[in-house]
Chains A and B, each alone.
Chain A
Amino acid sequence: MISIRVLAIAGSPRRHGNSEILLDWVIGHMKEDPCVTITKVALTEADIAPCRGCNACEKLNRCVIRDGMDLMHDQIIEADCIILAAPVYCMSICSQAKGLVDRTQVFRSRKYVLKLPVVSPERKGKRLGLFISTAGQDWSYVFDPSVPVVRCFFHVIEVRDKDIRYLMVRHVDEKGAVLKHPGARDEALKIADEMISTLKERLSE
């Protein structure tokens, strides 16, 4: 039987809020498939410090900071599907999630400076990514500044642009507001289904 490993990252400082509810809908649905193993990490408990910009990873091929990113680094490599859930604060992903994204600099150094593989060749081009986000504002463009950051995150961890899915729900501010959103849950389940079936196809090739 195929095994599909999903890494689900809850990036919000608020536990069990709107972005995490969306995340739980997605992984709850994915988990119904016996092929799927989910690892869920809440960044509030992950102990990941911000990048110091020292650029040592360009030479060392690893980060000089010893913290929760050691574990997260390996989890990112092992996963077939990486989900990042983060709310929009002040027009971009919350600083906790940006903290994690900046720490993926080690993958960027590996890929573009040292020209080393991030995942083994047979897994390249097979991984999927999902960005889940929520915003209090109802502006149509409220997620626009987050998308380039998230695309960068996925690029360096070897998830191609066309393999990134987006589940972004705006105009949900108070805790749990997404529960009353008319289409959010259906959209979450639909994305979960599509991702698992795509991964099954790719991993059985």
Chain B
Amino acid sequence: MKNPVKVIGLLGSPHRKGNTEQLLDRFLEGASDAGGVTEKVIIRDLSYSSCKGCNACHKTGICIMNDDIPLIYDRLLEADCIAVSSPIYTMGITTELKSFIDRAHYLWVRYYKQGEHLITPEKKKNRQGFFLSTAGMDTDDVFITTTPMIKPLFNILGFSYCSDILARNMDGFGGIAGHPWALDSAYKAGSRAVIEISAGIPCMGRNSNSQQSLLDDIPE
């Protein structure tokens, strides 16, 4: 029997059970209903410090800080699908998720500087990455800064950047439950990801419902 598809949802919100976590939960439900094994990682509850910019990893490719972060990255590297989530605070991802991503620098060094592909390009085709976000505001550019951080993260972890699920105007809709399609879209995306991965079908490139996105030209 084939191993079940492993799906990890990463919650970047400091706020529990809010709009972003509800959106992530729907994604994981979709994945689970399609036969995936799901797990949710709450960044806020991890024990870790922010990157200190010491650049020690530039020489070794290893982070000198021994805390939860490298363990979580090891788990993400073993997953078949990840859904990274964060609300938008002051036009960007939360401090928690930014801090988590900053700590991936040692993996960035391995990927870009040492040319070590932890996941082969062949395997990457069948590993799917999703970014889920919510924002209070209803402007076209509210998610504009997220792609430049998420895309390199997926690159170094060996995930194809399959889709964004971006729900704006939470203030206007009175929360995610009032949004016309976001929860449904998250459920379907989670379910489709598991089905595709099981069948060995790669996702059809990036599909984003954001109105504007910065820097799609970041190198792979």
Chain A interface residues (CB < 8 Å from chain B): 12-14, 17, 50-54, 87, 89-92, 94-96, 98-99, 101-102, 104-105, 108, 141, 144-146, 148-149, 151-153, 156, 173-175
Contact = CB atoms under 8 A, between A and B. Distances in A.
B-side interface mostly: loop
Contacts of A13: 50-53
Given A94-B53, A153-B90, A50 B14 contact: yes
A23 to B, nearest CB: 15
B152 interface: yes
A185 B87 CA distance: 38
A193 B82 CA distance: 49
Contacts of A92: 92-93, 98, 145, 148-149
B13 interface: yes
B164 to A, nearest CB: 15
Contacts of B52: 13-14
Given A144-B215, A145-B148, A174-B55, A95 B91 contact: no
B94 interface: yes
In the A-B complex, the 3 residue pairs with the smallest Cβ-Cβ separation, listed nearest first, are A95-B99, A53-B15, A50-B95
A53 B87 CA distance: 9
A102 B53 contact: no
Interface residues of B, number: 37
B154 to A, nearest CB: 12
A95 B145 contact: no
A148 B91 contact: yes
Contacts of B149: 90-92, 145
27 contacts: A14-B52, A14-B54, A50-B95, A51-B89, A52-B14, A52-B15, A53-B15, A53-B87, A87-B53, A89-B51, A89-B105, A90-B101, A91-B148, A91-B152, A91-B215, A92-B145, A94-B50, A94-B53, A94-B102, A95-B99, A98-B94, A101-B92, A102-B95, A141-B217, A145-B145, A151-B91, A152-B91
Interface of B: 13-15, 18, 50-55, 87, 89-96, 98-99, 101-102, 104-105, 108, 141, 144-145, 148-149, 152-153, 214-215, 217-218
Nearest to A148: B91
A90 B99 CA distance: 10
Contacts of A145: 92, 144-145, 148-149, 214-215
B91 A98 contact: no
Contacts of B108: 90
Contacts of A54: 15
Contacts of B153: 90
Contacts of B95: 50-51, 95, 98-99, 102
A14 B51 CA distance: 10
Given A13-B52, A91-B215, A99-B95, 19 more contacts: A13-B53, A14-B52, A14-B53, A50-B94, A53-B87, A53-B94, A54-B15, A89-B102, A90-B98, A90-B104, A94-B51, A94-B98, A95-B102, A98-B98, A104-B90, A149-B91, A149-B92, A156-B90, A174-B55
B82 to A, nearest CB: 16
A148 B144 contact: yes
A87 B98 CA distance: 13
Best-surrounded residue of A13, A92, A141, A153 (most CB of chain B within 10 A)? A92
